[in-house]
Amino acid sequence: MDRILIQFLNGLTYGGLLFIIASGFTLLFGVMRVVNMAHGMFYILGAYVGLSVQKATGNWLVAIIVGSITVGIIAFVIEKILPFAKSDLSQALLTLGVSVTIRDLCLIIWGGLPQIIKEPSFTKIPIKIFSSNYPGYRLFVLIIAVFIGILMWILLKRTQYGRVLRAGIDNRSMVSALGINIDRTYTTVFVLAGFLTGLSGSIGGTYISFGPGTDFSILTYALVVVIMGGLGSIPGAALGAIIVGLIDSFGRTYIPQITNFLMMGSLIIVLLFRPRGILGRKES
Amino acid sequence: MIKRTPKVLATIFLIIIAFTIPLWLGEYWTQTMITGFTISITAMSFILLTGYCGIVSFAQMSYYAMAGYVFALTAKDFNFPTYISIPLAIIGAVILSAIFGAIAIRSGGIYFMMMTIALSQLFSGLMLDWQSVTHGYNGFSGVARPSIFGFSLIDTNPRYYLTLVILIISYLILKRIVNSPFGLSLRGLEGNIIRMNTLGFDTDFRRFFAIIISGFFAGVGGLLGIFSTGSVTPATGDLSANVMVLMAALIGGIYHLEGGIIGGIIVIFLMNITKQYTNRYWIVIGIIFILIMIFLPNGILGINYSKFKSVFNKKK
């Protein structure tokens, strides 16, 4: 019974990380209809920069912040060159090209061995849950995820800015026609998504080792989460993240060899009943 | 008819050259050419979907890998005879494409693309994790080249001719499909799904069928691939491999099957040559990718040759 609960917590906390990763992706797609193939690259860039900053300063918090800001800046640059791509497909391809290039640059700078960022001392407290000591850091990640989720909810539902974004998800041309500066809004969303993903990279990179192949696996899980949960929906991303986290956790514990199969199967089952994802909505 | 003659002559010329390649290209480069051909076939299957149906599929190499895995598993581990392993491999690829296709037809263009990315990565991960069946990270290697109709495929030259012939046949079949009434209706799917439905075409079924056809040909490519290299690993069908097929289609030109042929050969040779100078070939590829997206979105076949013609006319 204990073991099941631990696995449940593992799944939940992993889901927390996945939510932060996926929310950036779903924001970009929902608001701007951009499929950011460089999403995984944002993650590992945040992780790698965080790693170097931590090695240089010894301070975890500084590392996280610098990592996130760096990715935000890269996102800004990418947003500026994005207009060169005229269609959905070419945008995805352009971001893919950037991703592949920067990924190889990371290989040159940081090498090919798996790396991990050192945990900050304030989370090194094991929390007693039933009879075992649960790593404090994982719960910390979950708390941050919930915090970010609440922040995003407030942003989207309670601010004028959020209303503009939500309107943009439903009907872009109308929003533009109403005279709102869509361009600046879009740039901000891009930077925000980049910052979030870089943050997830630094945070995730502290307890999950990362390396050159991580960007594709992160992209994969982000895609699965948002497809399951519903593109463009933040609650959907949360729901999808929890489901994927739990499947991953229980799957890898009890049937490690075919966890991917289980994941594929779950995706298929969800899509059979809800082709747009559980909380997905049809755009107008 | 007179206008077509230069094209026909050029094609015949190219085919003749293709058949003589093993004579003047060393064994290593002939082998490279074989791999190039397998990617060409897969690229054509990609172009069938992208250029003619408007569906972007990042899963073609998954079907390629599936065929390789099924062949390796049945021929090496289960010791099935060749004439059973080969059809099983193709069937495996088609089944996988049917599964991916069944999920995806309910979704529109970009959702389909994202789903194929996720599905192909998950499939590749499955090939990695399911060690008891797929031998994990190392996959299968040293799979014996079979003998077909008594011809041994151990040497490079017979394999080259087999692959070349199948490439040509695949091209002809795909060309026929694309120009058939069915194929023409596929092109209608790209922009006018609602209109097509109103006209009474079952768009879901047509798309599904197109995906299966693409799975078939990608499987053929994969089968020839494992004959050629003797190995298949989880990396054979992962996102990087699918990106390579995409590159091939883009370089050649996604709106024409011929682009797949050109693109496949170019990409393989490009990667091979770049690898000899630097380990950082992905950066080179990434940059070429970006440049093509910006400057040559229709690939080599899409270059506007009429511009050059006008230059010549002026000189007169």
| 3-state SS string for B161-218 | HHHHHHHHHHHHHHHHHHHCHHHHHHHHHHHCHHHHHHCCCCHHHHHHHHHHHHHHHH
Could you tell me the maximum CA-CA distance found in chain B, to the nearest angstrom?
71
**Helix axes A2-32 and A136-158, enclosed angle (nearest 10):** 30
Using an 8 Å CB-CB cutoff, list chain A residues near B240. 216
Tell me which residue in B110, B126, B294 faces A258 most closely, judged by beta carbons.
Answer: B126
Mean pLDDT of B227-235: 89
pLDDT above 70 for A283:
no
Tell me the pLDDT tens digit for each residue of B206-227: 888 899 999 999 999 999 999 9
- CB contacts under 8 A, A 183-222 vs B, are 216-217, 219-220
- Which is nearest to A46 in space by CA: A198, A180, A205, A229? A198
Question: What is the pairing mode between strands A132-134 and A127-129?
Answer: antiparallel
What is the distance between the alpha carbons of residues A22 and B220, in angstroms, rounded to a whole number? Answer: 36
Based on its alpha-carbon atoms, the radius of gyration of chain B, rounded to whole angstroms, reads 20
Q: Does B294 touch chain A (CB under 8 A)?
A: yes
Phi-psi region of A95 (alpha: psi -120 to 50; beta: other; left: phi over 0): alpha
Phi-psi region of A111 (alpha: psi -120 to 50; beta: other; left: phi over 0): left
CB A228 within 8 A of CB A238: no
> Of B266 and A159, which is predicted with more confidence?
B266
Q: Does A1 touch chain B (CB under 8 A)?
A: no
Inter-CA distances, B235 with A241, B118, B243, B269, Å: 26, 15, 12, 19
Query: Residue with structure tokens 């058939």?
Result: B180
Tell me the pLDDT tens digit for each residue of B40-94: 999 999 999 988 887 888 999 999 999 999 999 988 888 888 888 899 999 999 9
Tell me which residue in A102, A216, A271 faces B106 most closely, judged by beta carbons.
Answer: A271
> Of A180 and B248, which is predicted with more confidence?
B248
What pLDDT, on the 0 to 100 scale, is given for residue A65? Answer: 92
- CA A122 to chain B, closest CA, distance in angstroms equals 35
Q: Which of A1-10, A190-199, A267-276 has maximum average pLDDT? A: A190-199
DSSP designation for A117: P
- CA A53 to chain B, closest CA, distance in angstroms equals 25
In this predicted structure, which of A155-169, B86-100, B176-190 has the lowest mean pLDDT? A155-169
What secondary structure does DSSP assign to B232-286, as a single string? B-GGGGSHHHHHHHHHHHHHH-TT-HHHHHHHHHHHHHHHHHHHHH-S-HHHHHH
Q: Does A90 touch chain B (CB under 8 A)?
A: yes
Using an 8 Å CB-CB cutoff, list chain B residues near A86. 297
Using an 8 Å CB-CB cutoff, list chain B residues near A35. 110, 113-114
Query: Residue with structure tokens 């994802």?
Result: A277
What is the distance between the alpha carbons of residues A189 and A185, in angstroms, rounded to a whole number? Answer: 6
Q: Does B154 touch chain A (CB under 8 A)?
A: no
Note the pTM of the prediction, 2 decimals: 0.86
Using an 8 Å CB-CB cutoff, list chain B residues near A99. 286
Using an 8 Å CB-CB cutoff, list chain A residues near B282. 100-101, 103-104
Q: Does A284 touch chain B (CB under 8 A)?
A: no
What is the distance between the alpha carbons of residues A45 and B309, in angstroms, rounded to a whole number? Answer: 48
What pLDDT, on the 0 to 100 scale, is given for residue B315? Answer: 45
Tell me the pLDDT tens digit for each residue of A95-154: 888 888 888 888 888 888 888 888 887 777 777 776 677 888 888 889 999 999 898 888
Residues B111, A98: C-beta atoms closer than 8 Å: no
- One-letter amino acid of B211: I
pLDDT grade for B309, boundaries at 50, 70 and 90: low
Q: Is the CA virtual torsion A98, A104, A107, A113 positive or negative? A: positive
B153: its two tokens: 């495929």
What is the distance between the alpha carbons of residues A202 and A48, in angstroms, rounded to a whole number? Answer: 8
CB B50 within 8 A of CB B254: yes
Residues B293, A267: C-beta atoms closer than 8 Å: no
B110: its two tokens: 């970009």
What is the distance between the alpha carbons of residues A166 and A27, in angstroms, rounded to a whole number? Answer: 10
Question: What is the pairing mode between strands B147-148 and A132-134?
Answer: unpaired
Tell me the pLDDT tens digit for each residue of B35-49: 999 999 999 999 999
- Which is nearest to B286 in space by CA: A215, A227, A69? A215
Q: What is the mean pLDDT of chain B?
A: 83
Beta bridge partners of A134: A127
Measure CA of the first residue to CA of the last residue in chain A; give whole Å.
Answer: 47
What is the distance between the alpha carbons of residues A27 and A144, in angstroms, rounded to a whole number? Answer: 18
A138: its two tokens: 């994982």
ipTM score for this prediction: 0.83
Using an 8 Å CB-CB cutoff, list chain B residues near A256. 129
> Residue B80 class from Cβ within 10 Å (0-12 exposed, 13-18 middle, 19+ buried)?
middle
Q: What are phi and psi of A234, to 5 degrees?
A: -70, -45
> Of A204 and A159, which is predicted with more confidence?
A204
Residues B297, A33: C-beta atoms closer than 8 Å: no
What is the distance between the alpha carbons of residues A72 and A74, in angstroms, rounded to a whole number? Answer: 5
What pLDDT, on the 0 to 100 scale, is given for residue A80? Answer: 85
pLDDT above 80 for A241:
yes
Mean pLDDT of A200-228: 88
- Which is nearest to B123 in space by CA: B165, B93, B150? B93
Q: Does A74 touch chain B (CB under 8 A)?
A: no
CB B220 within 8 A of CB B38: no
Tell me the pLDDT tens digit for each residue of B129-187: 888 888 888 888 888 788 777 777 788 888 888 899 999 999 999 999 988 888 888 87
Interface test with A, best of B119, B275, B278 (most A CBs within 10 A): B119
Beta bridge partners of A129: A132
> Of A282 and A82, which is predicted with more confidence?
A82
Beta bridge partners of A132: A129
Q: What are phi and psi of A226, to 5 degrees?
A: -75, -30
Query: Residue with structure tokens 């995706």?
Result: A267
